Structure 1
Amino acid sequence: MYHSVSAVAGPMRDLAVPRKRLAEQLSALTAAGYRLVGLTEALDLLEQGCTDKLLAVTFDDGYRDFLTEAVPVLAEVGAGATLYASVGHLGAYADWLGRWSPDFGKLLTWDELAEVAEAGIEIGNHSLIHHPLDVLSAAELREETTRSKDELEQRLGRRVRSFAYPHGYNGAKVRAAVLAAGHDNATEVGRRLHTPGERRFAVPRLQPTPDMTGADLVALVAGGGSPLVPRLKQLAQPGWRVVRRIARAAGRNLT
């Protein structure tokens, strides 16, 4: 689970991996025998009985640096990927990052997103407006999942199968809405490995950071990360959702 391909200082720095580090990490994974593909392709291959060491590579949000920095690296190492676009923010800054949004530069424009698609990258849906979906009304949730998918398909001229929950938040209601909108898989944060047989609408991911060497990332993927953090987050989720609903009713989005 990558985001920006750049170098960023401050509290948001883990959301940015510079081009040189990205190349090191992906090259190390391919050297270790992993086949790097987009998320939908990975799930399809699993269902077909593929026994390769599959690793899905994803990028959230759709920063412009994906086109200028990530696409060349992916081509160099022979990797596929899925890019999740925040449809309502294209061409603007990622304002959900608050005062740190200028540090990441602008998101792709529609024309640039089309270039990414033409480069063979799967384009996934990251909703219309990048805010938590599990605290929205049924009508708002339907708008977020359906309109964004429709716009992507109409503007890019290709089917959009995959969805990434903004901030990772989901629940039964959200997953049902994503399915009803016509997606056939979706991904959260999770911070653990996905195993065959798990549900396709809450695929977990591991997050590389700019401090990880290629060897570090290979070790993380091989080991799957610590099981403690995902479990603690899972236990805290119901109470935290109540807090966020109260905050939203008061006019504030907590992420």
Structure 2
Amino acid sequence: MTDSATQAWTTLPALMYHSVSSVAGPLRDLAVPPERLAEQLGALTAAGYRLVGLTEALDLLGAGSTEKMVAVTFDDGYRDFVTAGVPALTAAGAGATLYASVGHLGGYAGWLGQWSADFGPMLTWQELADVAAAGIEIGNHSLIHHPLDVLTPAQLRDEVVRSHDELEQRLQVKVRSFAYPHGYNSRRVREVVAAAGHDNATEVGRRLHTPGEKRLAVPRFQPTPDHTGADLVALVEGGGSTLVPTLKQAAQPGWRMVRRLARKAGRNLT
């Protein structure tokens, strides 16, 4: 990014949605009902924000745009995205990036264990192609949704490269954006993601993205069903609390070691 482009913007809010539905139980916050999603998108638009996918937002800002923008992203690739998410985005005049968990397409979110059916089925390949044809950016969310930072080099490459290449070959689109499963990444993971052909990627972060930060670790806020439209505008404009992101970042090395040891014992901690 050039110096002039860096000076043209100060922050980029990015949003991380999952299912467009209503569920009860421990995964409730990962599902935003269609009417709430419509309210949130409408409030952001009314507040003067242009809603676009992540790659488009980064490209526009890198070219010197000073527009108020919010990057809108959806993780996993549930079928409710095409039945409820796309209509809400279309009504709001919004773009978005959908990150597909390639190895789970046509099935269920197996990484959720006993809650794998809570959000319903995943998109099929044909439905994902329909989403791409509707103008939604398709991003990569890996093959089997494993935490990538505790995998062996061979497993990591397989998760990232196979999913990227299969998306490009089957959809005939350029796949530039990646979302780390569960948000976990490391320098080694980011290098593999970049080498596979992605030029930007997202983590969780729960804060604003700023100039000079890595395009391969863009932080996102997570809207919940409890966020009204006004709440979400306030979160985007206020930037949220910095305490939790700081504490989580400090804890990452130790938590990664715990997860690596657990994986050797046959458990996947997320």
Q: How does 1:57-136 map to 2 (within 5 A)?
A: 57-136=72-151
| 2:204 match | 189
1:78-100 CA distance string (max 9 Å, x none): 00000000000001110111111
| Aligned residue among 3, 7, 12 for 2:27 | 12
Q: Is residue 46 from structure 1 mapped to residue 58 from structure 2 by the alignment?
A: no
1:14-68 CA distance string (max 9 Å, x none): 0000000000000000000000000000000010000000110000000000000
* Aligned positions, number: 255
Secondary structure of 1:17's match? coil
Deviation at 1:196, TM superposition (A): 2.0
Structure possessing the higher relative contact order (Cα contacts under 8 Å, 6 or more residues apart): 2
Q: Is residue 178 from structure 1 mapped to residue 217 from structure 2 by the alignment?
A: no
Q: Is residue 239 from structure 1 mapped to residue 260 from structure 2 by the alignment?
A: no
Paired with 1:196 and 1:69, the residues of 2 have a C-alpha distance of 33
Deviation at 1:253, TM superposition (A): 0.5
| 1:216 match | 231
**Percent sequence identity over matched residues?**
79
Secondary structure of 1:103's match? coil
| 2:8 match | none
Amino acid at match of 1:115: D
Paired with 1:49 and 1:196, the residues of 2 have a C-alpha distance of 12
| Aligned residue among 163, 166, 171 for 1:151 | 166
Amino acid at match of 2:265: A
Deviation at 1:102, TM superposition (A): 1.0
TM (norm. structure 2) is 0.94
1:216-245 CA distance string (max 9 Å, x none): 000000011100000010011000000000
Deviation at 1:185, TM superposition (A): 0.5
Contact 1:29 1:218 in 2 (8 A): yes
Q: RMSD across aligned C-alpha pairs, in angstroms?
A: 0.5
| Aligned residue among 235, 245, 250 for 1:230 | 245
Runs in 1 of length 4+ with deviation above 4 angstroms?
A: none
Contact 1:46 1:196 in 2 (8 A): no
Q: Is residue 140 from structure 1 mapped to residue 155 from structure 2 by the alignment?
A: yes
Paired with 2:212 and 2:232, the residues of 1 have a C-alpha distance of 24
| 2:213 match | 198
Secondary structure of 1:21's match? helix
Amino acid at match of 2:212: G
